[in-house]
Amino acid sequence: MRIVFHDLTVEPQPWLAQLRLAFPGADIALWQPGAAPADYALVWAPPQQLLDEQTALKALFNIAAGVDALMQMRLPPGVPIFRLDDAGMAVQMAEFVCQAVIRHYRELDPVEADARGGHWRQRKPRRRADFPVGVMGLGVLGKRVLAALKAFEFPLRGWSRTPHAIDGVRTYCGPSQWPEFLASTRVLVNLLPLTPETENILNRDTLSRLQAGGYLINVARGRHLVDADLLDLLASGQLSGAALDVFRQEPLPAEHPFWRHPLISITPHTSARTLRDESIAQIIGKISRLEAGADPHSLGGWVRTELRY
Ligand code: GLV
């Protein structure tokens, strides 16, 4: 068995070492141009040449939850693709979104600004019922976020392409129920995959359908959001703020107006980091099951490749 690895954003040696431990006797190497075709490839944002050279691939593993970068490339035909399936990301996403919702609801940014200015100023408690939280995207991350938010008793909404029934959550699906979902939401959490259908989905029209004082939490992809529309809606008072973890260009360029905007809080694509040990263990488990003859569709994280760019 031959496995190649290519991810320029991580230290590759621990990945190679753990793969070698799991598959003694296998040929496991960093991908080099012109290398022999592999049985399995583990990649993040690979060069097109890596994909073009694979003539014997049994599976391609994307070392991230989002497959948007890979989906824009020419893929080896018929090869099953897997993305990370939770692998420690869901709990991180839940804690991150809960803190963003609570920070907004409890007005912790202005409270802390008061404190920094030496002002002891209590604010009038707000009604939780006035802050329905709507989660776009009801996959493993969206469901985990909603389960965590439930503990804080916010009214909960969920929207996705396909129908889902989630206890304690009012769910909506498809384009026909999209306006109703937005109108029933005040704090909007974006966890959608980036596809041609969802690109620019957070725009002037959609964001202005949120309840008065709407607040945006974008933890999916920067290209979901039309930046200029967000700035306009904040300026007009239609939206009360945003917590943004992802951007059209990352790192966010120094001159971008989001950096200095008083109603926008910025984090550097950090809401749910890829955890090395969990991710390697998950991929090793899937390779072992594929080698034992498992149907790829039965393994978590299998990507429907017809969702193509
Ligand atoms: C992070 O953004 C990921 O897709 O895993």
Q: Let me know whether 242 and 280 are in one domain.
A: no
Contact 271, 222 (CB under 8 A): no
Average pLDDT across the chain, whole number: 97
Assess whether 269 carries a catalytic annotation: yes
pLDDT higher than threshold 60 for residue 39: yes
Which ligand 1 atom sits nearest the alpha carbon of residue 67?
4
CA 178 to chain CA centroid, Å, is 20
Q: What is the whole-number distance in angstroms between the Cα of residue 64 and the centre of ligand 1?
A: 5
Q: Let me know whether 39 and 106 are in one domain.
A: no
Q: What is the whole-number distance in angstroms between the Cα of residue 70 and the centre of ligand 1?
A: 12
Which ligand 1 atom sits nearest the alpha carbon of residue 269?
2
Average pLDDT score over residue span 282-301? 97
pLDDT higher than threshold 60 for residue 309: no
Residue tagged active-site, from 221, 224, 273, 276 = 221
Range of the domain at 280: 2-86+274-298
pLDDT higher than threshold 50 for residue 35: yes
In-domain check, residue 307: no
Q: What is the pLDDT of residue 306?
A: 65
Q: Let me know whether 106 and 254 are in one domain.
A: yes
| Torsion sign, CA atoms 67, 270, 212, 262 | negative
| Torsion sign, CA atoms 98, 221, 256, 11 | positive
Assess whether 261 carries a catalytic annotation: no
Helix axes 140-150, 89-105, angle to 10 degrees: 50
In-domain check, residue 182: yes
pLDDT for 163-218, tens place per residue? 999 999 999 999 999 999 999 999 999 999 999 999 999 999 999 999 999 999 99
In-domain check, residue 7: yes
In-domain check, residue 238: yes
Contact 283, 61 (CB under 8 A): yes
Q: Let me know whether 134 and 244 are in one domain.
A: yes
In-domain check, residue 45: yes
Of 82, 89, 267, the one to substitute when testing ligand 1's pocket (max ligand atoms within 8 A of C-beta) is: 89
Q: Name the pLDDT band for 290 (thresholds 50, 70, 90).
A: very high
Task: Judge if the beta carbon of residue 90 lies within 6 A of ligand 1.
Answer: no
pLDDT for 70-94, tens place per residue? 999 999 999 999 999 999 999 999 9
pLDDT for 214-247, tens place per residue? 999 999 999 999 999 999 999 999 999 999 999 9
pLDDT higher than threshold 80 for residue 293: yes
Percent of the chain with pLDDT over 70: 99
The domain that holds 52 is classified in CATH as 3.40.50.720
Radius of gyration in angstroms for the set of CA atoms belonging to the chain, rounded to a whole number: 21
Which ligand 1 atom sits nearest the alpha carbon of residue 84?
5
Q: Let me know whether 153 and 254 are in one domain.
A: yes
In-domain check, residue 278: yes
Q: What is the pLDDT of residue 50?
A: 98
Task: Judge if the beta carbon of residue 274 lies within 6 A of ligand 1.
Answer: yes
Structure tokens at 7: 């991810």
Residue nearest to atom 2 of ligand 1 (CA): 66
Task: Judge if the beta carbon of residue 219 lies within 6 A of ligand 1.
Answer: no
Q: What is the pLDDT of residue 228?
A: 98
Contact 286, 301 (CB under 8 A): yes
Q: Let me know whether 203 and 66 are in one domain.
A: no
Q: Let me know whether 106 and 250 are in one domain.
A: yes
Q: Let me know whether 242 and 106 are in one domain.
A: yes
Q: What is the pLDDT of residue 304?
A: 83
pLDDT higher than threshold 80 for residue 147: yes
Q: What is the pLDDT of residue 223?
A: 98
Q: What is the whole-number distance in angstroms between the Cα of residue 66 and the centre of ligand 1?
A: 5
In-domain check, residue 306: no
Q: Let me know whether 252 and 294 are in one domain.
A: no
Average pLDDT score over residue span 42-62? 97
In-domain check, residue 309: no
Task: Judge if the beta carbon of residue 88 lies within 6 A of ligand 1.
Answer: no
CA 278 to chain CA centroid, Å, is 17
Q: What is the pLDDT of residue 305?
A: 78
Q: What is the pLDDT of residue 156?
A: 99
User: Which class for 28: exposed (0-12), middle (13-18), buried (19 or more C-beta within 10 A)?
Assistant: buried
Q: Let me know whether 131 and 239 are in one domain.
A: yes
Q: How far apart are CA 124 and CA 127, in angstroms?
A: 10
pTM for the model: 0.95
Q: Name the pLDDT band for 308 (thresholds 50, 70, 90).
A: low
Q: Let me know whether 178 and 44 are in one domain.
A: no
Q: What is the whole-number distance in angstroms between the Cα of residue 304 and the centre of ligand 1?
A: 17
- Other C-beta atoms closer than 10 Å to the C-beta of 237 total 10
Q: Let me know whether 128 and 241 are in one domain.
A: yes
pLDDT higher than threshold 80 for residue 16: yes
The total of structural domains in the chain comes to 2
Average pLDDT score over residue span 274-290? 97
Structure tokens at 110: 């202005």
Structure tokens at 161: 């392409």
Q: What is the whole-number distance in angstroms between the Cα of residue 100 and the centre of ligand 1?
A: 18
Q: What is the pLDDT of residue 307?
A: 58
Long-range contacts of 289-297 (CB under 8 A, 24+ apart): 290/40, 290/58, 290/59, 291/1, 296/59, 296/80, 296/82, 297/80
